[in-house]
Amino acid sequence: MSKNLLQDVIKIKRITRKPIKEEEIEEIKVAYKEPKKGGFKYRLWILAFISTGVLLFALSFLFSQAKIIINPKIQNLPLNQNISAVKDSTADNLSFDLVAISGDESKNIEGSKEKNVSEKAKGTILFYNAFSYTPQVLAVDSRIEGSNGKIYKIAKKISIPGMTKGGTPGKFEVGVYASLAGESYNSAPLDFKVLGFKGTAKYSKIYARSESSITGGIKGVFHQVSDTDKIFAVNDLKNILKAKLLKKVTEQIPEGFILFKDAVFLDINNDDVKSFSKDTLIPVSVKGTLYGFLFDEKKLTKNIAQAIVDKYDGSDVYVQNIKDLKFSLLDQESTSFKDVKNIDFNLSGTPKIVWKIDENKFINDILGKSKKDFDTILSSYVSIDSASLSISPFWKNYFPEKAQSIKVTINYPQ
């Protein structure tokens, strides 16, 4: 507590034993002014302000945050690579899965003109030789009778093999046609006998059967479809069928697999266009099977990276525009889609290869580290092209100690 000088002066006066007059006391009071009572409060405010600043400074360390924006490494590289793949392989080499889905499409087209038509029914039959162990020869145009009572003829000379030692009949397939034109010769599958063997033992031992219908027989005035209209109608139906089947296949593709738009092929089982019809509208139908080659996207991406990235180290990458690459099946004409086991194909285009970043590992690598070490840590990641950093409060020179206080945003391309 400060000294009271007024009291000291009064004491001195008393020591001199002289009486102190009232006016003297007033003069002393005027000469000496007491300190203001507000000075103590002022010092308390300063102390409180400093304490608050220290507290806020301490709390800033507890609630510090770091925000990092990362731009991954991206390369656009030209690709023109021949690649081999094996169906359903479990090895490390590239494999493919074959998808197949069948369907049909039909519509009516208008016949362009009328014409007198006379066509004979045709089909294919299978001869059996249960008569002898030696071959049996039949001449071209040999007459055979169907189980419908109609007479047909074989289209070429044939030799039916003899029976096997076990007694199994020999077999031979041949085309046949009706002896007369007309729809009455059209038929479901039939049994046949050779008219020339009638009255002999061969008649019941050498016989034939058709496994499919005998069709095409017509006679009279019919509406005709031009070849141009026929080709246009069939191609139109093929495109419609392919689009419909492709939509169904696309909806069933498993996650993580890719089907290139050029890796689907429509195999037409048959196209049925009647050349003539008694009706003005002539039915056209197309049946076919769509085959597609599915690839594991991760395996294919690795294959692409190994082919075009200089000194590729196996880093985790993806191709952002992989669906835009062009797929070309090599030797397509000789490929039997139904039985295919191996394929060779070409991939071309400009794939955009994007390096993936392990966000959790990156955060763990910077926890508690000095801000000046940031560039060094970045340089150890080949998958990072660049990054920006902000730490709050601004005077902090160290990353937070807790992972949840660090927010990382990676600018992967959309």
Q: Tell me: pLDDT of 12 over 90.
A: no
Instruction: Give the residue-averaged pLDDT of 94-103.
Output: 94
**Which region among 2-16, 50-64, 227-241, 394-408 has the lowest average model confidence (pLDDT)?**
2-16
CB atoms within 10 A of CB 29: 12
Q: Tell me: pLDDT of 157 over 70.
A: yes
Instruction: Give the residue-averaged pLDDT of 254-269.
Output: 93
Q: How far apart are CA 263 and CA 13, in angstroms?
A: 119
Are 158 and 137 in contact by the 8 Å Cβ rule? The answer is yes
Q: What is the predicted pLDDT for the residue at 6? A: 45
- pLDDT digits over 184-235, tens only? 999 999 999 999 999 999 999 999 999 899 998 988 888 877 888 888 989 9
Q: Tell me: pLDDT of 31 over 90.
A: no
Q: Tell me: pLDDT of 279 over 70.
A: yes
Structure pTM?
0.63
Question: Comparing C-alpha atoms, which of 106, 103, 105, 113 is closest to residue 228?
Answer: 113
Q: How would you write the chain as a 3-class SS string?
A: CCCCHHHHHHHHHHHCCCCCCHHHHHHHHHHCCCCCCHHHHHHHHHHHHHHHHHHHHHHHHHCCEEEEEEEECEEECCEEEEEEEEECCCCCCCEEEEEEEEEEEEEEEECCEEEEEEEEEEEEEEEEECCCCCCEEECCCCEEEECCCCEEEECCCEEECCCCCCCCCEEEEEEEEEEEECHHHCECCCEEEEHHHCCCCHHHHEEEEECCCEECCEEEEEEECCHHHHHHHHHHHHHHHHHHHHHHHHCCCCCCEECCCCCEEEEEEEEEECCEECCCEEEEEEEEEEEEEEEEHHHHHHHHHHHHCCCCCCCCEEECCHHHCEEEECCHHHCCCCCCCEEEEEEEECCEEEECCCHHHHHHHHCCCEHHHHHHHHHCCCCEEEEEEEEECCCCCECCCCHHHEEEEECCCC
Instruction: Give the residue-averaged pLDDT of 310-328.
Output: 95
Q: What is the predicted pLDDT for the residue at 239? A: 95
The band of 163, judged by pLDDT with boundaries at 50, 70 and 90, is very high
Q: What is the predicted pLDDT for the residue at 137? A: 95
Q: Tell me: pLDDT of 119 over 50.
A: yes
Q: Tell me: pLDDT of 14 over 60.
A: no
21 against 102, higher pLDDT: 102
The band of 53, judged by pLDDT with boundaries at 50, 70 and 90, is low
Q: What is the predicted pLDDT for the residue at 13? A: 47
